[in-house]
Structure 1
């Protein structure tokens, strides 16, 4: 069963849903998104009855927004409890605390931040919404004197996002403060199968410009990244599976590698792969793995076969966000053709309504070994060269 919702459903996901006739809950949003395509629509009433009588069967959603539907219509089910455990970053930290006994974390409400005594905290630390998405209101605090200005910034950001995302996607009131984890950051898509066995679908290196960077500009996948981190990730997923019973359950997980092979989770996103149909679609464009089909058909990637002719390639997901000083109202349009020409092998260009969602779009690329320069340049670019002004 699939729940389709805004802000974005890719053409690839829609094609997959129609081709496989995966049951889709016939919400108002899903019907608008499918635009009359020959999908296997199930009424909300029948979907609710099916969920309740088939708990543990595979369910997928492409959007955080659908969590609100689940919480409203499937209250009291094990599915709701599992979603809440992962979506609430504080509860998740409590869940795995035994495996990470020395890790510092604390919760606080938005109203408490201004008067919070942080003198005893370990610096640097990270503050972010207990329920969050898309790096909204996420900040690294390096020293006590930075705190007042960061609190003001957070208050402004939360006020701005109230109209964009429901409280089930971004918490407007509750925050988690946790120690800063040093090391390289990664993200991966996976699912727990029918018997609770973990399956990895892709692993991506989240590249930053500096330790203070919290943006989502570049994620890159390769044979080296997947092979090196495969077993540590499996071991980590087994820990999660020992704490909470997961079957037919998809996840998108972010973590830092504090030392070789040591995984320190940042957050676990339930019921989906990467937001905006990004990481799952990249897996298709790069490796020919349809993550949606693999989940519903309980398939495992044959990585040896996948990398037979892709050993020296790197596949990247690039977020095209405005990091310049150019106001949105001064931009006529973004030149997607120009940016695609600056890459060796652009695989897919995804355009997004900048005025509505705050980003221009996404770019999926294939880069050969030895051609790191194009990824370095886009990582540090403010994208001003691709903005056509009014």
Structure 2
């Protein structure tokens, strides 16, 4: 069963739901997109069906509020909270990573936190967060004095973008910096609790202080490079959390010794804003159907079709530094022309959300000049004032 909600439902997801006549929760978003043609279930029918087959996917964490109110009879509420709350997630993993430093602080405590009570460098982010909102890398005491007012300013600015179940800026987590290359992975635990990996995206950063979601790349080579060690970690995690029929989007870092350390795990969904569709554009792999059908990708067959091609997913976010009052528009055509081969460019309502666009592209290599350019861009060349 599917729960469709704002901020965005892609054409790929919508077509998939229609083609397969998947049961969908009857809410405002689903009714607007599907009308009378959809297999819409009332809240009562959806909950009843969930009792007999507790398998659900949602494109948006906005659905968490409905789940908390209507599926209280199931342990899914507990599982969602376990993963969604970064402090509880670290508590769960404390036995696997006994030396990992983290602590919870309240938003109103940030201004008075003393440097002597902190362990530099560290990352600070909302305990319940989304989309790198409110995430900061803090190198030392000097950086903390500079960044602290920025955290307060940005939090006050963006916390109304999403409901508290998605972005709750009342509580933050401070944790040690995780070394290694970062990867974002879409997958699910099947009915036997076995993890299945669907998408693997390597996450590039402009520098040590960059915490944005700007550039990701994928290829069959990347998938093969890390699948084995990530699968082993997911097996251990699944035993701790005891999850089945459970889709997820997890971010991990892998160091030069092959050690996998999770950054966070997002429950009941794949990459946000339907960015999981990179698998569809790159490999013809429909992650929604794979989860619904409990299918496993055949990477040998995919490699025979795609070879060594590299695909990129670019998130053109709107930083808190951009003056909304002066901004008139965004040059999407110029953005499109910044890439050699665009597979899809999705424009976003940047007045309502903190993102201008999502770009899916085919590129020559992981270090293609066009990717380096957009990664380091302050976006000024695209802004219209």
TM-score (norm 2): 0.95
Q: How far is 1:47 from its partner?
A: 1.0
Q: How far is 1:323 from its partner?
A: 5.4
Map of 1:347 onto structure 2: 343
Cα displacement string for residues 316-373 of structure 1 (whole angstroms, at most 9, x for unaligned residues): 1111224597633434332222322232211001010111112211110001238711
Matched, 1:253 2:250: yes
Map of 1:293 onto structure 2: 289
Q: Distance in 2 between matches of 1:324 and 1:68?
A: 27
Conserved 8 A contact 1:18-1:37: no
Map of 1:229 onto structure 2: 226
Q: How far is 1:37 from its partner?
A: 5.9
Matched, 1:95 2:84: no
Measured on the aligned residues, the alpha-carbon RMSD in Å equals 1.8
Matched, 1:3 2:30: no
Conserved 8 A contact 2:3-2:25: yes
Map of 2:278 onto structure 1: 282
Q: How far is 1:122 from its partner?
A: 2.6
Gaps of 5+ in 1: none
Map of 2:143 onto structure 1: 146
Cα displacement string for residues 245-277 of structure 1 (whole angstroms, at most 9, x for unaligned residues): 111100000111122421110000000001100
Q: Distance in 1 between matches of 2:113 and 2:335?
A: 44
Q: Distance in 2 between matches of 1:71 and 1:98?
A: 28
Q: Distance in 1 between matches of 2:366 and 2:314?
A: 19
User: 1:20-169 to 2 correspondence within 5 Å?
Assistant: 20-32=20-32, 34-36=33-35, 38-51=37-50, 53-54=51-52, 57-169=54-166
Cα displacement string for residues 47-95 of structure 1 (whole angstroms, at most 9, x for unaligned residues): 12222x226x320000011011101112242000100000011111111
Q: How far is 1:161 from its partner?
A: 2.5
Structure 1 SS opposite 2:165:
coil
**Post-superposition, which runs of at least 4 consecutive aligned residues in structure 1 deviate over 6 A?**
none
Number of aligned residue pairs: 385
Which sits farther off after the overlay, 161-170 or 333-342? 333-342
Structure 2 SS opposite 1:157:
helix
Structure 2 SS opposite 1:330:
coil
Conserved 8 A contact 1:23-1:40: yes
Conserved 8 A contact 1:26-1:42: yes
Conserved 8 A contact 2:9-2:273: yes
Q: Distance in 2 between matches of 1:184 and 1:370?
A: 13
Match of 2:382 among 361, 380, 386: 386
Q: Distance in 1 between matches of 2:118 and 2:12?
A: 46
Matched, 1:317 2:318: no
Q: Distance in 2 between matches of 1:373 and 1:111?
A: 43
Q: Distance in 2 between matches of 1:277 and 1:126?
A: 26
Map of 1:211 onto structure 2: 208
Structure 1 SS opposite 2:104:
strand
Q: Distance in 1 between matches of 2:141 and 2:334?
A: 43
Q: Distance in 2 between matches of 1:386 and 1:161?
A: 22
Conserved 8 A contact 1:253-1:269: yes
Gaps of 5+ in 2: none
Q: Distance in 2 between matches of 1:66 and 1:106?
A: 28
Q: Distance in 2 between matches of 1:324 and 1:99?
A: 36
Q: Distance in 1 between matches of 2:213 and 2:140?
A: 24
Q: Distance in 2 between matches of 1:326 and 1:118?
A: 29
